Structure 1
Amino acid sequence: MNIQLDDIGKIIQLSIAPVFMLSGVGTHLIVLTNRLARIIDRSRKLEETLTPEALHHDIELDELYARSHLINRSITLSCLCALLICLVIATLFVSDALEIALAKPIASMFVLGILSLIGSFVYFLREIFVATRTLERDRLRRGGGIIRSDQA
């Protein structure tokens, strides 16, 4: 078994699409970790100012805790997706270089990676809904009404 330069080029061509997907997942992970960092910073700030009279701080801390769990699940699924895509790329190389038929494992890992990415986006969307609901609750608690564009 002798691998030729043309064979390497063909393997690289096969792995280009998963590499682009991996790049997108990496960007998604950056967004998620930034959101998690902001949630952690906000919860630390609230914990420093926590007093028995500040009931709304307890409510906000509970919401931040829920948001952090949703983001953690999203990060976990994104990382799983990235790992599966890396395995797809490695398996493509091994399959072609060693001339082993691994089409079904490659397809399975790719589908699992896509499903993990879908799950990650679902948790991310749920976290956004919780954050938006929190903003709306805070606005109503302050007695704020709807701000029209001519008032802004």
Structure 2
Amino acid sequence: MSPFPGLLPDEAVDSVAHLIQTALTPIFMLSGIGTLLNLFNTRLARVSDHIEKANETLETTQEKAKRHYLHQHIRHLHRRTLLLDASILLGAVGGASTCGAAFVLFLGSLRDSSVASWLVVMFGLALACTVGALATFLCDSLLAWHGLRVTTSWARSVRPNG
């Protein structure tokens, strides 16, 4: 028996409910990708600020050992910016693909045509790019952790004994 007697047959309610459930998947994924992009952009801004500070310190430092360390540190930070740029690019493509999947799903429901192959391609691309964005972000995190260990060991080596 239909929840709306006389308005919609049971099959129509089931197909509308299925369409709504299917349409929500890309929306949740897009929300998650948006959160990741915000995280990546915030992290990139912090790394950029750190590069500026290191460059300012480099300009005022005369000590050869410290200048060498700062040059290495700036190169390390530039590698991190490349990884974060890749994370942002992949996340953006993943978000656009998610939107494309939702659009294809919408067109398929309007035209009542078979768009399954386009839907699989768009959603698959969104998933692959999101995984790629997370992988490059993991690489940035590993570089950041490595940088912390190097900075800590360098600071210990230049600290006066006593």
Query: Is 1:32 the equivalent of 2:31?
Result: no
Give the match for residue 110 of structure 1: 123
Equivalences, count: 141
Residue 81 of structure 1 aligns with an amino acid whose one-letter code is: G
5+ unaligned residues in a row in structure 2: which ranges? 1-7, 158-162
Residue 24 of structure 2 aligns with an amino acid whose one-letter code is: I
Aligned equivalents of 1:9, 1:84: Cα separation in 2: 24
Residue 46 of structure 2 aligns with an amino acid whose one-letter code is: R
Higher helix share: 2
SS at structure 1 position matched to 2:58: coil
Question: Which of 81, 84, 92 matches 1:68?
Answer: 81
Give 1:10 deviation, angstroms: 5.3
Aligned equivalents of 1:30, 1:97: Cα separation in 2: 33
Aligned equivalents of 1:93, 1:100: Cα separation in 2: 11
Larger of the two Rg values belongs to structure: 2
User: How does the TM-score come out when normalised to structure 2?
Assistant: 0.80
Residue 44 of structure 1 aligns with an amino acid whose one-letter code is: E
Give 1:47 deviation, angstroms: 1.1
Give 1:11 deviation, angstroms: 3.8
Check whether the contact 1:77–1:116 (CA below 8 A) recurs between aligned residues: yes
Give the match for residue 126 of structure 1: 139
Give the match for residue 43 of structure 1: 51
Query: Is 1:14 the equivalent of 2:27?
Result: no
Aligned equivalents of 1:127, 1:26: Cα separation in 2: 19
SS at structure 2 position matched to 1:100: coil
Check whether the contact 1:11–1:93 (CA below 8 A) recurs between aligned residues: no
Query: Is 1:83 the equivalent of 2:96?
Result: yes
5+ unaligned residues in a row in structure 1: which ranges? 145-152
User: How does the TM-score come out when normalised to structure 1?
Assistant: 0.85
Identity %: 27
- 1 or 2 for the larger relative contact order (CA 8 Å, sep ≥6)? 1
